[in-house]
């Protein structure tokens, strides 16, 4: 089988052996430890729960309380449908904790990268990006109009070369 012009032989092999890492069915979640239907107990390395807060009892209770008060969503885009006082409260707390004049919440890391990168970079800029960076960094870069240059993952020497090349072209 091919997908996006690439052979999926390895994927097919994994599927045949019952060890595919894609679309696992999570039976239980204990933070960084999960139980899957196919493979039992596993240590989860693919989660976006970087700080392990998804299982924090106080946060779980706060989420339950918010659902009881506001339901399971905010009815649509905040721009048109509004936001809750909880959103304002979190932004106020973040503002205070950071000592900055304001703070803003984004619904996801992807939304944050799209908004921030496309706002602060422009066609006059060059963005240097690790090739394995999240697609949202690429998307924000493309939206900004900046020149995007990549370097191999964690290859500091190549990054230094890219920087030196940019300094040389900017000076000349």
Mean pLDDT of all residues in 56-67: 94
pLDDT value at 76 more than 60:
yes
Q: Give the whole-angstrom CA distance, residue 170 versus residue 56.
A: 49
**Which whole number is the average pLDDT over 58-77?**
90
Q: What is the pLDDT of residues 145-169, one digit of tens each?
A: 999 999 999 999 999 998 888 777 7
Domain coordinates in residue numbering, the chain:
2-43, 71-98, 109-171
Q: Give mean pLDDT, residues 15-23.
A: 77
pTM metric for this prediction:
0.65
Tens-place pLDDT, residues 77-96: 877 888 889 999 999 999 99
CB of 103 closer than 8 Å to CB of 96? no
Alpha-carbon span 115 to 117, nearest angstrom: 6
Q: What is the pLDDT of residue 108?
A: 85
pLDDT value at 58 more than 90: yes
- Among positive and negative, which fits the CA dihedral 161, 167, 170, 171? negative
According to DSSP, residue 37 is labeled T
């Amino acid at each position: 089988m091919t997908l996006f012009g690439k052979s999926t032989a390895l994927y097919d092999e994994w599927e045949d052996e019952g060890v595919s890492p894609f679309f696992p069915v999570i039976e239980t979640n204990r933070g960084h430890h999960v139980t899957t239907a196919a493979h039992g107990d596993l240590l989860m390395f693919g989660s976006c729960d970087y700080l392990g807060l998804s299982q924090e009892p106080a946060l779980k209770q706060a989420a339950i309380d918010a659902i009881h008060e506001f339901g399971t969503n905010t009815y649509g885009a905040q721009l048109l449908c509004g936001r809750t006082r909880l959103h304002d409260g979190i932004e106020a707390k973040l503002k205070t904790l950071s000592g900055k004049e304001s703070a803003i919440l984004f619904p996801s890391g992807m939304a944050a990268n799209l908004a921030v990168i496309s706002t602060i970079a422009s066609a006059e800029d060059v963005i240097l990006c690790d090739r394995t960076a999240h697609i949202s960094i690429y998307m924000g870069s493309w939206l900004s109009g900046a020149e995007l240059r990549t370097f191999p993952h964690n290859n500091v020497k190549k990054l230094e070369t890219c920087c030196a090349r940019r300094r040389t072209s900017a000076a000349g």
